[in-house]
Structure formats: C-alpha cells, structure tokens
C-alpha cells in the first residue's frame, strides 16, 4: 500500500489517492452552472423562493439550549472515533488565498461575495451577534482547471473540490498521505521501524506525539516557565483540533511502536523497513476492524419509530461490534452487503456529498464539555471537566494537566446526544456549535459553516438525494411526514425554505427520524452505507481480501478489539469490552481478561533465508525484496521504491510452489 493511495487500483491508479477530486454521485448545482454557489445571488429564486441565509437557518432551527438530552446507549468514544476516521478518509483544503482575486480585500473583513470570499450574512436581529454584519467564510480550494470555461474542450468545467488525503481506511492519520510527510514522521535513526515520539515530555512511562515546531497552538496563559507547547505532529494536520482527538492519534502511534518492537524481538533479522511496513499493515487492519467489524450475539438496539421530540427506546437484538453497524444500523448493514472480495470496478474515492454533508451528522452528537476522571473514574480532583472550546488546539492541557488517561476515562463514561428536537439541539453546543475558535479568536457557527460549505461545494438539495436513495420527490412539506414526523419542525422548515426541494441536505438529513438501530435517518443511512461499501470493496488491501494476510494472521486479527488497543497503550486497567457502548464502571472488565493480539503467525525462521515449506522445500528468493513463511504459504514483499510483479502469496501444492513473483 503506497502512502499516497496511488496504484491501489491497477487500472485506475488515482482512484482513492490523495490530492485528487472528490467524486460526485449527482451533478454539481452551481448558480451559473460551473462556479458560483447557490445563495451567491441573494435574489435568485429556487422553486419560487429565495434560499435563506445560513445564519438565519442556524438561528431559527438550531438554537442552542441548556437542556442536555443524552443517549443512554453509546459513549462519547463513538463520536471521537467518527471524527478520527473522517480525518483518515477526507480533508478539504481551503483556498490558498485569503484575499479577493479581484483586489486585495481580506476575506476576514469583507461582506461581499468575491471569490474566494463567500461570507455568511448575519441577520439584523441576530440574537448573539450585534457588532458584525457577516461571518467570514473561505471557499474550498478548486481542482486546477475547474470552475472556469475551457477553450480546449469548448465547454464549462464545473468547479470541483480536492480531497487532500487518501480515501482508504488506511491509518493515514498515523502515517500521512504523502511520502514527504511520512519521512518526517518516521524515526529513521535506527533499524527498529518506529514512529517518532516526543523528546521533551513523557506521559509517565508512555510516549506523547512529537511536536510540530512550525505549527503554534494555544498556550497556558498562567504558565511562567516560558516553555512553548506547539501543536502535535501526526499523519493528519488536524490532530490538535481537540484533546480527545489528539488522544486517539497518540494511542495508534504507541501501538505501532509496540508492535514494531514485538516483531523485532521475534524476527531480529528483519530490517527497519520491513518492521515498519509490517507494523503499519497491522495497524491499518486494526483501523478497518474497528471501523467495519460486526457479528452475532446480543446487545441493545433502537426499536420502533424514533420521534425527534422524545427519547429513543430500545429492545434486545444482535451485537453490533465497533463503529459502522452502530451508525447505519441493520438496514444500512444490509445495504452494504457481505464482503465478497476486492472489486476492481468499484471506485473507493470519497464522494463530495459524504464528506460535506452525510458524514457530518456527527456534529449533532458533540458533548458540550468533556470529563477528566481519576483512576477510580471519579471527577478528577485537580483537573476538572472543561468546556469543549477550551480543549481546541490546546496540547498543553494534556502535557501539563494529568496526561492522557483522565481524558480517555472521560470518553468512556460520557453520554452522547442522539439528534435534535424542534428548534433546540440536544445539548448546549451540538449541531449548532457557536464556538470560540481559539486559533483565530472569532466566534463561528458550526451549523452555518456546514450549510455554507454544502452550497460552496454545489451539493444538490434534499429532493435530489431523496430521489438518489429511492424515495419519492417531495412536492410539499406534508410529503416529508414519513421521514420527518415532527410537524412543528416541518412547519419551521417550510417558513424558512418555502419548498422541500430547497432544503439544504445537511439540515434535512439531521431532521429525519433515526432508522431502527441507527444514528441516522433514511437518506444519510443510504449515503453512508454506499460510501462505506465502496471504501471496503474498492480497497485492494482491505484486510479480509484473500492474500493480504495469511489465514493464521487473519484469525489472530479477528480476535482484536479496540478495547485491547486501549489497554495496551494507556494506563487504564479496566474498560468496556466494547468502547463505544456506555456501561456502568462496575460493568467494566479488567484488561487482563480482554484477548491480546497473538503475533506468532508473523514469526519467521530465525535465519530469514533458509526455511522449508511442506514438501516443496525452500521457496526461491527475489531481488530487492524478501519473503516470509506463513504456514504452507509464502508471502513476498518489496523494499520501498519497488513494486512486486506477480502473486504476493505463493502456496505449496504437492511438491511445487505456485508461480513465483
């Protein structure tokens, strides 16, 4: 697997690769058909109505409330994993320019629509903002040659946006999506195959992520030491957005180094490159297992219709293990279908609608504050809970305030919300998150940002996605009663938008009633299930694809759980067996009772060269590469910079090997 994702698909080398366009499942809808977003011209009519300013929508539909309504089923770890995995598969860079292309006007000061500036207008009666007439917004960077007329092809080239990271679930959050970044993250000072760690501070005996000296973060204003704490350095540049996100990044770098050390002890003849690549391959498989894994057993799932205006109720059903099945529920899992092997005809590239709307459903599940707990899972006496915005870009709070374990304990025991009620999000700063962006010292509105980003990316509006997912187009708001049962909410949407075909997808998706056993409504479930299926089936290196791992290795990996990873890389001694399920601390299990990863199937003959496989004898060697014995199979690999020609896994059949690469 390349770090850029290139050549995953041998016939379409750039499918899923970093720094390539998002794919579209429906044609872009720009006001001028190729570049200006909907809402650019405030007098433009859609289905006989003007589109409401996004800030007005946020104020009218998504007002915050001090009433916190929580989900009794899931822990906040589910939310943070969703954000983490989102950063693994998509990142939309903003325009490199912060000034208008026509002049030198700064986008942070203008209220005019002049690319790349697309400011969010503030209503005159705004309840929170009285000193500004707009909030700044920078358009996403465009793919070169799009959003302009083409003299070469004599046609319009609609503006497209860039996915700067690999689309694959490949732990690019750990290893980066470019070779140059990867080289900066690796410890090349020895032959141990390790990732770099922090050389200034330790979390007890545990390592922190290294710092990025070129990326300043918020500092402790009361610290008199004069020691600067920069942002962390990781495979994804958003690592320091929030302390909880930084914690998950740290866990996986620790796990990579733990595995590399075990592999080195088992196979001392392996080079640093082999150790790195094998540990990376295992960690990548971990990410896929935590993300997709599901099975049979017993657990609690939503039962019956879930109304926005009341809490969900639950019934006993089958186990959903790890992330995806909890989000899209049994119907979404059925849409994905069972894994049938790699399909080279499937494009795994992340879609614009997934990255810009559907997977942003998680913004409606953010807790208003996060807890920090002591070793007894009580509120930490020295480092109490802090508000969400106080944890933005603040690594110093981890370094100087008790380390990572209190943060992890809080994630495991904090409720999440399950959507929003009419006019009110379920907790103080959820899907309308009017937060203090401490990096830029300006109040921003997350709901408005999401709505404006959808228009910037020319996402078709709600009716088109209903049609895409097999639902009837709505001619009036009564037609939405099957998906949005709350009449008061439908009436509110009608007063704002006038026609159901005008509603922004992100808002409409959040407004839908949750499907049974899921965290999303029908349209978002459809879109998420499709994308997750494409990411799985279109990845040649998906861990279950035959030949990626030997049968013995696969059996070992399938015993793995996220809980075990946490136990192996933190000071926690007891956790839930399923970290995403909320459990009373009395129901936590000791880490000693959670199965460990058995790396024995990765053991190679100590000589590294002379080993025999069944009755076939010693398998031939290859230049610029090596081989490993896995039962009656031999797995071949190449050194960095070389590509294997032929089969990766060779089997001993009778007295001869199958074709040697």
DSSP letters of 252-300? HHHHHHHHHHHHHHH-TTS-HHHHHHHHHHHHHHHHHHHHH---SS-EE
The answer to the question of whether 457 is labelled as a binding residue is no
Closest CA relative to residue 210, chosen from 178, 179, 176: 176
Last residue of a domain, one of 533, 558, 579: 533
Same domain, 644 and 514: no
Q: How far apart are CA 123 and CA 57, in angstroms?
A: 10
Q: φ, ψ for residue 495 (rounded to 5)? A: -65, -30
d(CA 509, CA 465): 10
Q: Examine the domain organization and report whether 264 and 286 are in the same domain.
A: yes
Is residue 152 pLDDT above 60, yes or no?
no
List, in sequence order, every beta strand (DSSP E) within 22-172: 45-46, 49-50, 71-75, 120-121, 134-135, 148-150, 155-157, 162-163
The conformation of residue 140, written as its DSSP 8-state character, comes to: B
In this structure, how many other beta carbons lie within 10 angstroms of the beta carbon of residue 256? 25
Cis peptide bond N-terminal to 196, omega within 30: no
What's the mean pLDDT when you consider all of the chain? 87
**The pLDDT value given to residue 430:** 31
What CATH number is associated with residue 637? 2.10.70
Q: Which two tokens stand for residue 649?
A: 């896994």
R_g over Cα of the chain = 25
- Domain stops at, among 533, 555, 575: 533
Secondary structure in 3-state letters for 312-363:
CCEEEECCCCCCHHHHHHHHHHHHHCCCCCCCCCCCCCCEHHHHHCHHHHHH
Q: How many CA atoms lie within 13 A of 439 on its CB side?
A: 14
Domain match, 185 and 148 both: no
CA 321 vs CA 290, 437, 561: distances in Å: 8, 35, 9
Same structural domain, 151 and 202 = no
Count the neighbouring beta carbons within 10 Å of the beta carbon of residue 267.
20
Max mean pLDDT range (222-236, 291-305, 599-613): 222-236
Residue 151 and residue 245 in one domain: no
Looking at the domain assignment, is residue 433 inside a domain?
A: yes
Residues 6+ apart with CB under 8 A from 451: 54, 57, 58, 504, 506, 507
Q: Which pLDDT value is given to residue 639?
A: 76
Residue 414 covered by a domain: no
User: What CATH number has the domain bearing residue 495?
Assistant: 1.10.640.10
Token pair belonging to 648: 């990766």
Contact 20, 163 (CB under 8 A): yes
Q: CB under 8 Å to 372, separation ≥6 — which residues?
A: 379, 380, 383, 384, 385, 386, 401, 402, 406, 407, 409, 410
**What whole-number distance in Å separates Cα of residue 238 and Cα of residue 233?**
9
Mean pLDDT of 378-391: 91
Give the pLDDT score at 307: 32
CB 515 within 8 A of CB 522: yes
Residue 450 buriedness (CB in 10 A; 0-12 / 13-18 / 19+): buried
Give residue 650's pLDDT: 87
The residues near 1 (Cβ < 8 Å, ≥ 6 apart) are: 8, 168, 170, 280, 281, 284, 541
| Six-digit token string for 410 | 């809080």
* H helix runs in 498-614, sequence order: 505-511, 522-537, 551-557, 562-568
d(Cα 96, Cα 177) in Å, to the nearest integer?
19
Mean pLDDT of the 271-278 span: 96
Residue with tokens 């770890």: 77
Count up the domains in the chain and report the number.
3
Is 80 contained in some domain?
no
CB atoms within 10 A of CB 600: 10
Span 552-564, average pLDDT: 94
Give 175 or 308, the one with higher predicted confidence: 175
What's the rounded Cα separation, in Å, for the pair 493 and 478? 11
Overall size of the chain counted in residues = 661
66 and 199 assigned to the same domain: no
Q: How far apart are CA 190 and CA 240, in angstroms?
A: 28
Instruction: Verify that 111 and 176 share a domain, yes or no.
Output: no
The string of pLDDT tens digits covering residues 339-362 is 999 999 999 999 999 999 999 998
Q: How many CB atoms lie within 10 A of CB 480?
A: 24
The answer as to whether 652 is a domain residue is yes
Question: What is the average per-residue pLDDT within 198-218?
Answer: 96
One domain, residues 314 and 385? yes
Mean pLDDT of 512-518: 93
Per-residue pLDDT tens over the stretch 481-501: 999 999 999 999 999 999 999
Q: Are residues 375 and 423 in the same domain?
A: no
DSSP summary character for residue 512: S
**Domain range for residue 290?**
172-340+365-409+545-593
Active site residues: 87
- For residue 163, give the 3-state DSSP assignment: strand
Residue 109 — pLDDT band, cuts 50, 70, 90?
Answer: confident
CA distance 401 to 406: 9
Instruction: State whether 514 and 588 are in the same domain.
Output: no
Q: What does pTM read for this prediction? A: 0.86
Residue 548 neighbours by CB under 8 Å, 6+ apart: 285, 541, 542
Q: Indicate whether 158 and 223 sit together in one domain.
A: no
Q: Are residues 286 and 373 in the same domain?
A: yes
Nearest of 602, 582, 291, 534 to residue 413 by alpha carbon: 582
Whether residue 274 lies inside any domain: the answer is yes
The per-residue pLDDT for 299 is: 38
Give the other-Cβ count within 10 Å of 249's Cβ: 22
Q: Which helix (H) or strand (E) holds 444?
A: strand 442-445
pLDDT at 308: 31
Is 153 part of a structural domain of the chain?
Answer: yes
Query: Is residue 482 included in any domain, yes or no?
Result: yes
- Confidence label for 614 from pLDDT (cuts 50, 70 and 90): low
In a domain, 83, yes or no: no
Question: Where does a domain end: 485, 511, 533?
Answer: 533
């Amino acid at each position: 697997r390349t770090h850029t994702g290139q050549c995953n698909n041998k016939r379409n080398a750039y499918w899923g690769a970093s720094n390539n366009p998002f794919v579209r499942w429906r044609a872009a809808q720009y006001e001028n058909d190729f570049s200006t977003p909907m809402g650019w011209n405030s007098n433009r009519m859609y289905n006989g109505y003007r589109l409401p300013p996004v800030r007005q929508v946020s104020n009218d539909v998504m007002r915050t409330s001090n009433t916190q309504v929580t989900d009794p089923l899931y822990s906040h770890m589910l939310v943070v994993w969703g954000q983490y995995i989102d950063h693994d598969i998509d990142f939309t860079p903003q325009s490199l320019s912060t000034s208008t292309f026509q002049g030198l006007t700064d986008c942070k000061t203008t209220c005019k629509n002049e690319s790349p500036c697309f400011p969010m207008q503030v209503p005159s009666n705004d309840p929170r903002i009285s000193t500004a007439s707009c909030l700044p917004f920078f358009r996403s960077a465009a793919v070169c040659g799009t959003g302009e007329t083409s003299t070469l092809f004599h046609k319009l080239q609609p503006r497209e946006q860039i996915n700067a990271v690999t689309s694959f679930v490949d732990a690019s959050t750990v290893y980066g999506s470019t070779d140059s970044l990867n080289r900066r993250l690796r410890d090349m000072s020895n032959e141990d195959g390790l990732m770099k760690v922090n050389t200034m501070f330790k979390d007890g005996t545990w390592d922190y992520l290294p710092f990025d000296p070129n990326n300043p973060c918020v500092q402790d204003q009361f610290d008199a030491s004069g020691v600067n704490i920069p942002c962390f350095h990781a495979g994804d540049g958003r690592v320091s957005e929030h302390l909880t996100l930084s914690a998950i990044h740290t866990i996986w770098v620790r796990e990579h180094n733990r595995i590399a050390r075990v592999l080195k002890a088992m196979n001392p003849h392996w080079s640093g490159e082999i150790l790195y690549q094998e540990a990376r391959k295992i960690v990548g498989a971990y990410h896929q297992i935590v993300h997709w894994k599901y099975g049979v057993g017993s657990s609690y799932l939503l039962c019956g219709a879930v109304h926005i205006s009341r809490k969900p109720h639950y019934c006993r059903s089958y186990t959903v293990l790890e992330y995806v099945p909890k989000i899209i529920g049994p119907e979404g899992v059925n849409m994905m279908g069972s894994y049938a092997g790699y399909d080279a005809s499937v494009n795994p590239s992340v879609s614009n609608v997934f990255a810009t709307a559907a997977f942003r459903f998680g913004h409606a599940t953010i807790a208003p504050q996060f807890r920090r707990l002591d070793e007894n899972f009580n509120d930490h006496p020295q480092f109490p809970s802090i508000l969400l915005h106080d944890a933005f870009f603040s690594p110093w709070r981890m370094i100087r305030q008790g380390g990572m374990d209190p943060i992890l304990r809080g994630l495991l025991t904090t409720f999440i919300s399950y959507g929003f009620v009419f006019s009110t999000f379920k907790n103080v700063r959820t899907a309308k998150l009017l937060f203090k962006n401490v990096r830029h010292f300006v109040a921003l509105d997350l709901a408005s940002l999401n709505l404006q980003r959808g228009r910037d990316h020319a996402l078709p509006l709600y009716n088109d996605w209903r049609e895409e997912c097999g639902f009837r187009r709505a001619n009036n708001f009564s037609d939405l009663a099957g998906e949005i049962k709350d009449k008061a909410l439908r009436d509110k949407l009608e007063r704002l938008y006038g026609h159901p075909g005008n509603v922004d997808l992100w808002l409409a998706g959040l407004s839908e009633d949750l499907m049974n056993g899921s965290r999303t409504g029908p349209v978002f479930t459809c879109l998420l299930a499709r994308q997750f299926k494409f990411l799985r089936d279109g990845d040649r290196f998906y861990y279950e694809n035959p030949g990626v791992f030997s049968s013995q290795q696969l059996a070992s990996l399938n015993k793995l759980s996220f809980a075990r990873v946490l136990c192996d890389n933190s000071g926690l001694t007891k956790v839930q067996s399923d970290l995403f399920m909320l459990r009373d601390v009395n129901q936590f299990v000791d880490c000693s009772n959670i199965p460990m990863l058995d790396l024995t199937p990765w053991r190679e003959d100590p000589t590294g060269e002379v080993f025999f496989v069944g009755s076939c004898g010693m398998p031939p060697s290859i230049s610029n590469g090596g081989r490993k014995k896995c039962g009656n199979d031999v797995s071949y690999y190449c050194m960095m910079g070389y590509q294997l020609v032929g089969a990766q896994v060779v089997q001993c059949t009778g007295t001869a090997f199958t074709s040697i690469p």
